[in-house]
Chain A
Amino acid sequence: MALQEKYKELIDAAKSAGTKNLQVSELDGVLHITGEAPSGTVKDNLWNIYGKIDPNFLTGDVVMNINVATAVEGARLKVITESSNLNIRKGPGTDQPIVGKAAHNETVTLISKQSDQWWLIRTDSGEEGYSHSQYLKPVE
């Protein structure tokens, strides 16, 4: 319960922002927060609050898995790589052959989600395949 006190502001913010299926539970001294934020902005805000309570996320007492509700089939996604191109692969996994590339800051379309990590996308030039979701952010 002490953890829930420490991260009260974060939990309250997630609740008041309308995070769907919000689950807050503890396991071996780690607070697990999962849910679906209504927008990428809400997700960013939650991560900012988390970073305020635990500077640089170094304590390791929280695992926060917040998805964004707008990342649905047909949604437009922005490629948010650091600077390089994003690999588009034949299947969901880094062992899969690269079948295309999407440029940094390019906008692509989400076809489906194979998992939370691997999304099937299509570029505007028609290249289709799987990319890692950490480099894709819904355009709002």
Chain B
Amino acid sequence: MKMKQISAVIIAMGLVFLFSCKGKPKDSELQAKVTEKLNAVPGVTAETKDGVVTLSGSVTDEAAKSSAEEMAKLTEGVKSVTNNIVVAPPPVTAPPPPAVTADDPLRTGVEAIIKDFQGVQATVEDGVIKVSGELSATRWKTLKMALDGLKPKKVDATGLKIK
């Protein structure tokens, strides 16, 4: 009688164990499901152990991190999600350096402009236009606008006096 009871308990436990195993998807299946969903978020990988999904990798913004977590959580059979995704904003790419005119064409350009500005001299060296002399503020503005249009490296007016 006692043995029967014990064996019944064992059988019952076995059944419970069996069913519970059957009801729980295997980690490998979960892993496949989660991985498939995560294809939508590049740069994120998942690891599944005992129904717990651990997300890792790197994304460019917070929204991608939370959406990956949401996708994993909504996968059937996932108990919980550990989100170890790192948010790293993309490196700020510096704009290309400005195009600077070579000295010879720059000199020709400067000569064509400066000839109409009496009392002002200009030299060109290494892309820098050096202006000297004396000029009214409005005439200097006109000159500066024209010189900047030649795409120099710099317009150095330290030698210029504004009347």
Judge: A and B partners, yes or no. yes
Cα(A93)–Cα(B116), bound, Å? 14
Cα(A65)–Cα(B100), bound, Å? 12
Q: Does A2 contact B (CB under 8 A)?
A: no
Q: Does A25 contact B (CB under 8 A)?
A: yes
Q: Does B137 contact A (CB under 8 A)?
A: yes
Q: Mark B88-128, 1 if CB is under 8 A from A, else 0.
A: 00000011111010000000110111011000000000000
Say whether A47 contacts B150, CB under 8 Å. Answer: no
Say whether B148 contacts A64, CB under 8 Å. Answer: yes
Say whether A27 contacts B155, CB under 8 Å. Answer: no
Question: Which A residues lie within 8 Å of B155 (CB)?
Answer: 57, 60, 63
Chain A interface residue number, banded: 20 to 34
Q: Which residue of A lies closest to B126 (CB)?
A: A28
Q: Mark B141-163, 1 if CB is under 8 A from A, else 0.
A: 11011101111111111101010
Question: Which A residues lie within 8 Å of B150 (CB)?
Answer: 116-117
- From A82, A94, A116, A134, B111 is in contact (CB under 8 Å) with A94
Say whether B154 contacts A134, CB under 8 Å. Answer: no
Using A65-B149, A117-B149 as known contacts, say yes or no to A25 and B157 having CB atoms under 8 A apart. no
Say whether B97 contacts A27, CB under 8 Å. Answer: yes
- From B112, B145, B148, A132 is in contact (CB under 8 Å) with B112
Shortest distance in angstroms between B128's beta carbon and chain A's nearest beta carbon?
9
Q: Which residue of B lies closest to A64 (CB)?
A: B148
Which residues of chain A in 49-93 are interfacial with respect to chain B, using CB atoms and an 8 Å cutoff?
Answer: 51, 56-58, 60, 63-65, 67, 81-82, 93
Question: Which A residues lie within 8 Å of B98 (CB)?
Answer: 23, 25, 27, 32, 34, 63
Binding site for B on A (CB under 8 A): 23-25, 27-28, 30, 32, 34, 47, 51, 56-58, 60, 63-65, 67, 81-82, 93-94, 116-117, 132-134
Nearest 6 A/B pairs, CB to CB: A32-B98, A134-B146, A25-B95, A94-B112, A30-B154, A57-B144
